[in-house]
Amino acid sequence: MKKFNTAGPCVPSEHYMVQSAPHLSTIGKLIEDKRYFILHAPRQTGKTTMMLQLTENLNQEGKYIALYLNVEAAQPWRNRIAEVNQTIVNEFRINAKIFLPKEYQPSSACFENIGNEFSVFLIQWCLELQKPLVVFMDEIDALIGDGLISILRQLRSGYTKHPRAFPHALCLIGLRDVRDYRIYSDASKRYIVGGSAFNIKEKSIRLADFTLAQVKELYAQHTEATRQVFTEDALQRIYHLTQGQPWLVNALGRELCFEEYAIAYEQSVTETDVDNAAEILIKRRDVHLDQLADKLTEPRVAKIIEAILIGENQGESQEEEVHFNWNENRQYLIDLGLVRSGKRGLEIANPIYREVIPRELTTYQQDILGIEPQWYVKPSGKLDIDKILEAYIAFYKEHSELITNRRTYTEAAHHLLFMAWLQRIVNGGGHISREYAAGLGRLDLCIDFAGERFAFELKRRSKTALTKGKQQLADYLQRLSLQSGWLVIFQRGKVQDWDAVGKREFFVEAGKQIEVIWL
């Protein structure tokens, strides 16, 4: 039986797969036209699977000799150009020996007198071959510094010799478009722009996430194999939670159909089943989600994620801008697949990532809070929200150093501590959903617990925080079909008046009951 794949390239005989026909058609035309081009997309979106398939298809057709290689093995050499080049030559040697017929493998003469330039090997090999060579170089952006610059410049230089004495067509595969690389050269003591080191690019192709139709196509393969039905609401929910991110789509399928809590094949998979599976993924934090969480520690990632969490970009001083380029780092996060440009501004790429990020950033706080969740549950099993808020106000007054001493995400420290408090209480008996984006101006969250919903809006204190916050919360309550909610406004900087901390006021806005808490 085939399965949903979440580890490494897909194998057609073993895994459910979605064909990338539009991309393959475009790539086929580029190869026919002797072009050098880029394929980029976030990790675990199907780049390697597609290129391995294409390599096999090209070799079976017989018009070209196609070879795929992964150059990540050269990464540890960093700026040691000779070692980088030799490692890549070795990758060519090994892959040609494994995947090509003997008559197409490079002779020993191809490896002679190549010095520190892998391009000399390519020239000598292409001169031997009776068919055009097509090369796919994966993980190109795993290389850094002068090693990467050397490879890009050799490809640029060799381009003038193609197709007779250099690859007929070539594809560089990575997370980002080469034009977005800023590569620091130790030799030159300056940054080199990738677009100048590799200015022979014909086209840049970004591998898109799955569409809703492709998600349905993928899951239909499981239905055909097992007769297990996914309701329309379930399929819509899968797409909503993942936004088509291929690893997440497959991970949900694996969880729903093959893991410990899989739904029996004779039962239909419902929207509730999908939500339960998503929660399992978030809590278990598999490798893909673990790698995502690890990125949150990078300074250029942290600054943008923090702006998204608090709903505003504070802008950069001229001095800060020297060290932090918002547009450049914004593009980096988009290329990683971590964020996207949404209708409300820069936002987290999908709802699952949107849950992973604040939970990851508050794990430590949750662990040290020492809360017994049952203290805040009424005998009826309902949540005692007033008790929760009163306890938090008292806790914050006593332990404000958890905010003032935070070294990362300092601007979002209030938001994160408050969310950690709620998450610690709600875990196991309910669920918190969050909405936040850099252009939203606040962070909205909704607690679902024992059949009740509680809506909160978190804002930083400003001249307009109260006025705008009431309007925004009223709109949020309208969308949730709730009559009341809480607006929590956090103080900026050091607290001057502790007596005012925890002040609670009540308002009516657009017919909605709003309680404002000043922290």
H, E, C per residue of 196-242: HHCCCCCEEEECCCCCHHHHHHHHHHHHHHHCCCECHHHHHHHHHHH
Q: Class assignment of domain 21-206?
A: alpha beta
d(CA 252, CA 110): 47
What pLDDT score does 320 carry?
47
pLDDT by residue, tens only, the chain of 519 residues: 899 999 888 998 999 998 766 678 889 999 999 999 999 988 888 899 999 999 999 999 999 999 999 999 999 998 899 999 999 999 999 999 999 999 999 999 999 999 889 999 999 999 999 999 999 999 998 998 999 999 999 999 999 999 999 999 999 999 888 877 777 777 777 877 776 778 777 788 888 899 999 999 999 999 999 999 999 999 999 999 999 999 999 999 999 999 999 999 999 999 999 999 999 999 888 777 777 778 898 888 999 999 999 998 654 444 444 455 788 888 889 988 999 988 878 999 999 999 999 988 888 777 777 788 899 999 999 999 999 999 999 998 888 888 877 888 999 999 999 999 999 899 878 999 999 999 888 999 999 999 999 999 999 999 999 999 999 999 999 999 999 999 999 988 777 788 888 999 999 999 999 999 999
What pLDDT score does 44 carry?
83
What pLDDT score does 318 carry?
43
d(CA 50, CA 40): 12
What pLDDT score does 427 carry?
84
| 264: DSSP letter | P
| 3-state secondary structure at position 267 | coil
Query: Please, what is the Cα angle at 41 between 38 and 43, to 5 degrees?
Result: 130
What pLDDT score does 368 carry?
74
Q: What are the C-alpha distances in Å from 218 to residues 10, 238, 254?
A: 13, 12, 12
Amino acid at 232: E
What pLDDT score does 324 carry?
59
| 3-state secondary structure at position 478 | helix
Please give the distance of CA 511 from its chain centroid, rounded to a whole number: 40
Amino acid at 89: V
d(CA 72, CA 231): 42
For domain 212-284, which architecture applies? Orthogonal Bundle (1.10)
Which residue is it, tokens 């339960």?
276
Q: Which of 177, 213, 175, 181 is nearest to 337 (CA)?
A: 175
What pLDDT score does 313 carry?
67
What pLDDT score does 317 carry?
44
d(CA 262, CA 280): 11
d(CA 82, CA 115): 8
| 130: DSSP letter | S
Residue range(s) of every CATH 1.10.8 domain in the chain: 212-284
d(CA 88, CA 412): 44
Which residue is it, tokens 């998503």?
278
Return the bridge partners of 23, or none. Answer: none
What pLDDT score does 22 carry?
66
d(CA 4, CA 286): 15
Q: Give, for 300, the enclosing helix (H) or strand (E).
A: helix 299-310
| 160: DSSP letter | G
The answer to whether the beta carbons of residues 120 and 131 sit under 8 Å apart is no
Q: Is the dihedral of CA 474, 477, 481, 485 positive or negative?
A: negative
| 3-state secondary structure at position 338 | coil
d(CA 88, CA 339): 33
What pLDDT score does 29 carry?
94
What pLDDT score does 456 carry?
98
The answer to whether the beta carbons of residues 436 and 443 sit under 8 Å apart is yes
What pLDDT score does 314 carry?
53
**Half-sphere exposure at residue 129, Cβ-oriented, CA atoms within 13 angstroms:** 31
Helix orientation angle between 232-242 and 212-226, rounded to the nearest 10 degrees:
130
d(CA 263, CA 253): 10
pTM for the full predicted model: 0.87
d(CA 497, CA 515): 21
Residue range(s) of every CATH 3.40.50.300 domain in the chain: 21-206
DSSP 130-155: SS-EEEEEE-GGG--HHHHHHHHHHH
